[in-house]
Each structure stands twice: as C-alpha cells, then as structure tokens.
Amino acid sequence: MTLHQKVAIGFFVVLLGAASLNYIPGVTDEDGVAFGVFALDIFDDSLHLASPIWALVAGLMSSRAARL
C-alpha cells in the first residue's frame, strides 16, 4: 500500500467521523449546532458521506486513483 492510498483511507476515517458528528449525543446543542460553531444539515451530511466513500474507493483501487 502506497502513501497516497494510506492518506486516502485516512481521509475516509476523518470525513466519516465528521459525517457522524450530527448523530452523537452531546456534540450538537438544541439548535443543531455542533460544538456551538458549525450548523450541520442534511446537505453537509451527504457531502461528508459521499467524500469518504470516494476516498475509500480511490484508496482501495490503486495508487493512481488515490493520487487523483
């Protein structure tokens, strides 16, 4: 596994964590703001879910795909 592939899989983990923030009790307040700063909605969640899936596929496919 090359460095590019490892970085792509690292992006998968980080972005998947960002997508799950909205669903962890205690991270968002009653206004739906994460950490009192970020207002997360369904569009943010879908972007943060599509990006890690793309990164995982690129990381698992090949080094060339991970570089893109």
> Containing domain of residue 49, as a range?
3-67
Among candidate residues 17, 16, 7, 15, the one with its CA nearest the CA of residue 65: 7
The model's pTM is: 0.71
Looking at residue 37, its pLDDT comes to 82
| pLDDT per residue rounded down to tens, the chain (68 residues) | 888 888 888 989 998 888 887 788 888 888 778 777 878 788 878 888 898 898 888 888 887 777 76
Per-residue model confidence (pLDDT) at position 13: 93
How many structural domains compose the chain? 1
Say how far apart CA 33 and CA 5 lie, in whole Å.
33
Name the token pair of 20. 């799950």
| pLDDT at 68 (0 to 100) | 63
Q: Is 12 helix (H, G, I), strand (E, B) or coil?
A: helix
Question: 3-20 and 42-61 are packed helices; what angle lies between their axes, rounded to 10 degrees?
Answer: 160
